[in-house]
Amino acid sequence: MHKPADRIRNVALIGHRGSGKTSLHEALLFEAKATNRLGSVLDGTTVSDSEPDEQSRKMSISLALSSFEWDGRKINLIDTPGEPSFVADALGAMRVCESAVFVVNGVMGAEVTTRRLWARAEELDLARMIFVNMLDRERADFFRTLESLKDAFGGHVVATEIPIGSEQDVCGIVDLVDMKAYQYSNPTPASRDNCTEIEIPAELQDLAEEYREKMMDEICEVSDSLMERYLEGDEIAHDEIVGVLKDGTNHGSLFPVVCGVATRNLGTNRLLDAIVEDLPSPVKHGSLELPEITLDADPDAPLYAYVFKTRADPFAGRINLFRVYQGVMRHDSHVMNTTSHNKERVGQLLVFSGKESGHADEFGPGDIGAVAKLKETRAGDWLAERDEPISMPAIQLPAPVMAFAMEAQGDEDKVFTSLRRLQEEDPTIDLHRDEQTGDQIIAGLSQMHVEVVVERLKERFGAEVTLKPPRVPYMETIRKPAKAHGRHKKQSGGRGQFGDCHISIEPREPGAGFEFVNQIKGGVIPTSFIPAVEKGVVDAMQSGPIAGCPVKDVSVRLFDGSYHTVDSSEMAFKLAGSIAMREAMGNASPALLEPIMLVTLSIPEDSVGDVIGDLNSRRGRPQGMDSIGGGLTEVKAEVPMSEMLTYAPDLRSLTGGQGDYTMEFLRYEEVPAHLQQKIVAAATEQETISA
Ligand SMILES: Nc1nc2c(ncn2[C@@H]2O[C@H](COP(=O)(O)OP(=O)(O)OP(=O)(O)O)[C@@H](O)[C@H]2O)c(=O)[nH]1
Ligand SMILES: [Mg+2]
């Protein structure tokens, strides 16, 4: 039998890189008896960082699902990577969960990625709770962190616990709902039964009262009836407070904050209680409304399950993780894939709990599970009883801008099939052939992102590629309107060729893209040849007049032309279109464009001067800075991508290894005239080499 939907909690662990999500995931599994040993990220022994590259890099790269029981509920907990290069998995997990626990470093407060993903969680209408982690670290401060969270996420961020002790002496938690205190022993190795109830320490009594009052004020905001009774001084029962807390959290009007130390298993039993008590079940969170259909957590209705992650395993084959929204997914059954329109045989269903995976007979509505060996199914597809159109609103993913040309070593077929399987795992990887140079291109969100793909290719599939230095995706555009006439005419025996067109072109807003307007009147060009002219124009735009880069943001108007009843053909009009476009672009004051990146750095305060000086020498424009605690400053700057290709080692040496940065594409801008020459020369050189 499946777990009833009102007894399920789907929870994504979200937060900045290194805030302790994987360690917390590990501790929650341990506390819930899904594992017998508390693994550690440093030793590479956690359940969720199971890949060799995750262990060697000491960071999560892919999401990891674990399912376990706590207090009669089934918790599906998804650990996600904090590194922005792997944001696709964090967003994929948020898509299928009702709730997120944001894990925050108690030294650093609300960091960049946390803030960004908070906004995405808001868009996706997730119930949110915050776990302030790492309270045992030097300079960790729960109350300062709480203030930083309120600054970042507003006044409805409310502590339901406060810690006892601080830094290395942190030893327990005061629960503000019941005004009870808990002490945690600290044996090595960490143990499970480490929590005992104690009296609230005398020196914390006032502080606890103060924060309890703040909490009650916020909770009363959500419920008028509770407010009245609270003001009248009534005793309010645990269940009532928790009920209102859950309502508020479910609707995004309260964000409870709890705390602890993941690596010491301190506070995790309280967090599990809070997940059950404060976070909504799929039933409570409500139905999923899609353009075509509304899905309810009803086991008797037709099946709809959404695949949110595909994992490529060279031995076990493809594993798909799915969330059932309606109906029941059963083993040994058949379902329809509504994207590929294939009938899929569902053989074994898998459930991941701790280090091992087990088999399940079925997953009911609201549940999350896995299935191996489907033929045509991958992330983004729906599995359903009937093959009827259904779509999940797309999640906006960052564009893969870091592009490398690559060369397959050995068996090309094997390299490309394996790469495509890795691409199924991660939609932010782009593979394509460069039209200009014929190079095979692999692009990702960062250099590290692409390197990880190349390593996985070798590790999992034994296929190797070498990367050439990254190339900047320059573009071209025009700045002035221009007109041109294109004529293709050949009369060398037999049937001739004749195509003739007049076009005018003008610049469009940056980012507006390409537009083709047909203004032919009186049939001077027959309608059937007009798409050929457009095709010719588009072909010519693949290679701009300055450096042979693709041209963007141009509007093209076809307003005149002529034809020949016998000699005109699609080919002839296509060539005429290309000729006209090439000439028009040359006369339209063309400009070379380069990608500008938004670089977000977190660096030690005393290195800010050096780092900004260096960014200036890279044509960077600082956009502001912010102290983010722990002696670190966050600096944002806009910098041309071409200046950032080998930044990582430079930042390391500028900051004594303490600096970190992320980079994302912002927009295209014109290349300054004095640099254009150099880029054109480099482009020409490349052409000669590849020719
Ligand atoms: N002192 C202390 N260290 C912690 C705590 N939680 C995690 N760490 C350490 O902090 C580092 C990062 O922890 P992870 O659990 O890998 O963090 P993460 O959020 O999963 O990181 P990403 O997957 O890269 O986003 C590891 O070295 C952990 O051992 C904690 O509560 N106290
Ligand atoms: Mg992790």
User: How confident is the model over 277-311, as pLDDT tens digits?
Assistant: 999 999 999 999 999 999 999 999 999 999 999 99
Whether ligand 1 lies within 6 angstroms of the CB of 602 is answered as no
Atom 7 of ligand 1, residue of closest alpha carbon:
20
Name the residue of 24, 41, 51 to mutate for ligand 1: max ligand atoms within 8 A of Cβ.
41
Residue 690 lies inside a defined structural domain of this protein: no
Q: What is the pLDDT of residues 306-330, one digit of tens each?
A: 999 999 877 778 999 999 999 999 9
For residues 204 and 165, what is the distance between their CA atoms, to the nearest angstrom?
9
Confidence label for 195 from pLDDT (cuts 50, 70 and 90): very high
Atom 11 of ligand 1, residue of closest alpha carbon:
18
For residues 620 and 597, what is the distance between their CA atoms, to the nearest angstrom?
9
Q: What is the per-residue burial (b if ≥16 Cβ within 10 Å, else e) of 569-588?
A: beebbbbbbbbbbbbbbeeb
The CATH number covering residue 429 comes to: 3.30.70.870
Whether ligand 1 lies within 6 angstroms of the CB of 95 is answered as no
Which numbered ligand comes closest to the C-alpha of 27? Answer: 1
With a cut of 80, say whether residue 683 has pLDDT above it: no
Report yes or no: 644 and 584 within 8 Å, Cβ to Cβ: no
Whether ligand 1 lies within 6 angstroms of the CB of 80 is answered as no
Mean pLDDT (whole number) for 189-203: 94
**554 and 448 both lie in a single domain:** no
The CATH number covering residue 175 comes to: 3.40.50.300
Name the residue of 17, 23, 101 to mutate for ligand 1: max ligand atoms within 8 A of Cβ.
23
Q: What percent of the chain has pLDDT over 90?
A: 77
For residues 189 and 38, what is the distance between their CA atoms, to the nearest angstrom?
8
**108 and 141 both lie in a single domain:** yes
Which numbered ligand comes closest to the C-alpha of 105? Answer: 1
Largest Cα–Cα separation, the chain? 106
List the single range of 55-69, 172-186, 391-405, 562-576 with lowest mean pLDDT: 391-405
List the single range of 192-206, 234-248, 426-440 with lowest mean pLDDT: 426-440
Whether ligand 1 lies within 6 angstroms of the CB of 60 is answered as yes
For residues 22 and 44, what is the distance between their CA atoms, to the nearest angstrom?
11
Domain-terminating residue out of 223, 252, 285: 285
**207 and 232 both lie in a single domain:** yes
What range defines the domain where residue 661 resides? Answer: 592-674
Confidence label for 690 from pLDDT (cuts 50, 70 and 90): very low
Confidence label for 691 from pLDDT (cuts 50, 70 and 90): very low
Which numbered ligand comes closest to the C-alpha of 17? Answer: 1
Residue 200 lies inside a defined structural domain of this protein: yes
Calculate how far, in angstroms, residue 504's C-alpha sits from the geometric centre of ligand 2: 54
Domain-terminating residue out of 548, 566, 588: 588
Residue 98 lies inside a defined structural domain of this protein: yes
Residue 45 lies inside a defined structural domain of this protein: yes
For residues 252 and 286, what is the distance between their CA atoms, to the nearest angstrom?
14
Residue 394 lies inside a defined structural domain of this protein: no
Residue 174 lies inside a defined structural domain of this protein: yes
**130 and 141 both lie in a single domain:** yes
**602 and 461 both lie in a single domain:** no
- Token pair belonging to 35: 């594992």
**Residues contacting 169, CB < 8 A, separation 6+:** none
**364 and 423 both lie in a single domain:** no
Give the model's pLDDT for residue 399: 77
The CATH number covering residue 558 comes to: 3.30.230.10
Give the model's pLDDT for residue 685: 67
Confidence label for 557 from pLDDT (cuts 50, 70 and 90): very high
Calculate how far, in angstroms, residue 115's C-alpha sits from the geometric centre of ligand 1: 18
For residues 522 and 349, what is the distance between their CA atoms, to the nearest angstrom?
64
With a cut of 80, say whether residue 435 has pLDDT above it: no
| Of the candidates 477, 475, 473, the residue with the CA atom closest to the CA atom of residue 591 | 477
With a cut of 50, say whether residue 689 has pLDDT above it: no
Whether ligand 1 lies within 6 angstroms of the CB of 581 is answered as no
Q: What is the pLDDT of residues 578-634, one digit of tens each?
A: 999 999 999 999 999 999 999 989 888 999 999 999 999 999 999 999 887 667 888
Which numbered ligand comes closest to the C-alpha of 133? Answer: 1
Q: Rounded to two decimals, what is the model's pTM?
A: 0.81
**220 and 346 both lie in a single domain:** no
| Of the candidates 265, 270, 218, 225, the residue with the CA atom closest to the CA atom of residue 245 | 218
Domain-terminating residue out of 384, 415, 434: 384
Give the model's pLDDT for residue 194: 94
Residue type at position 432: H
**277 and 292 both lie in a single domain:** no
Q: Which single residue is written with the structure tokens 């003008």?
A: 506
Calculate how far, in angstroms, residue 491's C-alpha sits from the geometric centre of ligand 1: 74
Q: Around ion ligand 2, which residues have CB less than 5 A away?
A: 21-22, 60
**366 and 486 both lie in a single domain:** no
Whether ligand 1 lies within 6 angstroms of the CB of 594 is answered as no
